[in-house]
């Protein structure tokens, strides 16, 4: 949890655990998040999907950012809902029509359908959404996609600590795990009062303990 949630290196987590009397190697921490991270992330995603299954007034914000892997440009696609929750993360080498179509199908399969989809002016979105038959749900505007843009900041901070990923597969895995763990602990402090925030902050670690159990 410490490694995925906070912008810490493996050796930072090793030092923090050593201070608490837990003597382990940083490679053990790497093994832990590789093995258990996807399991916990899948449980978080499954629970949220079941809670939101009957909700149809979703507003999705879709965006893609550039990511460097061994000096080669890749693209990290993101779908964020109206509450700021990251629904889907997808890493590709291209951003053409086939990739956009695959990304939309993957998001819709896992999360259902949205009432409105906010995108930028990338032509791949237009072609893919027209083929899926939901082009009338699309919205574009200068400030409309700010929520998707802001969702990249936590990952960008994490990326700098990791000194970038070296494989596309590992980037996809970490981006998915990081997004779901971020969703779980994101109490949206700027939207609620102090008491509500404290209750949510206390509930998140308790729910995490249940996941690990």
The sheet with strand 116-118 has its strands ordered as: 86-92, 72-80, 59-69, 116-118, 138-139
SS3 call for 79: strand
Question: Alpha-carbon dihedral of residues 120, 111, 74, 184, nearest 10 degrees?
Answer: 100
The topology under which CATH files domain 2-212 is Nucleotidyltransferase; domain 5 (3.30.420)
Number of H helices, E strands in the chain: 8, 5
- Greater confidence (82 vs 128) lies with 128
Compute the mean pLDDT over every residue in the chain, rounded to the nearest whole number: 87
Q: For 94-103, what is the mean pLDDT? A: 91
Give 132-187 pLDDT, tens digit per residue: 888 998 988 777 878 788 888 888 888 888 877 788 888 899 889 988 888 888 87
Tell me 55's DSSP state: -
CB of 100 closer than 8 Å to CB of 119: no
Phi/psi at 24 (5° precision) = -135, 165
Give 30-76 pLDDT, tens digit per residue: 999 999 999 999 888 888 777 776 666 678 899 888 888 888 889 99
Tell me 57's DSSP state: -
The contacts of residue 45 (CB under 8 Å, 6+ apart) are 110, 180
pLDDT score for 53: 64
Torsion sign, CA atoms 24, 28, 29, 30: positive
Give 102-113 pLDDT, tens digit per residue: 999 998 888 888
């Amino acid at each position: 949890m410490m490694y995925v949630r906070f912008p810490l290196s493996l050796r930072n987590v090793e030092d923090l655990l050593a201070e608490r009397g837990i003597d382990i190697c940083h490679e053990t921490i790497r093994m832990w998040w590789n093995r258990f991270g996807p399991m916990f992330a899948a449980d978080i995603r499954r629970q949220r999907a079941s809670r939101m299954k009957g909700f149809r007034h979703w507003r999705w914000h879709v965006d893609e950012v550039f990511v460097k892997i061994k000096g080669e440009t890749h693209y990290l696609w993101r779908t964020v809902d109206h509450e700021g929750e990251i629904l889907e993360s997808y890493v590709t080498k291209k951003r053409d029509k086939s990739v956009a179509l695959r990304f939309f199908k993957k998001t819709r399969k896992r999360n259902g359908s949205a009432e409105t989809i906010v995108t930028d002016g990338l032509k791949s979105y237009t072609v893919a959404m027209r083929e899926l038959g939901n082009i009338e749900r699309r919205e574009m505007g200068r400030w409309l996609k700010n929520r998707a843009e802001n969702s990249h900041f936590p990952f960008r901070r994490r990326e700098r600590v990791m000194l970038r990923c070296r494989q596309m597969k590992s980037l996809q895995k970490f981006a998915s795990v990081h997004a779901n763990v971020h969703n779980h602990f994101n109490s949206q402090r700027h939207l609620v009062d102090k008491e509500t925030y404290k209750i949510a902050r206390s509930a998140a670690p308790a729910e995490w303990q249940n996941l690990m159990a």
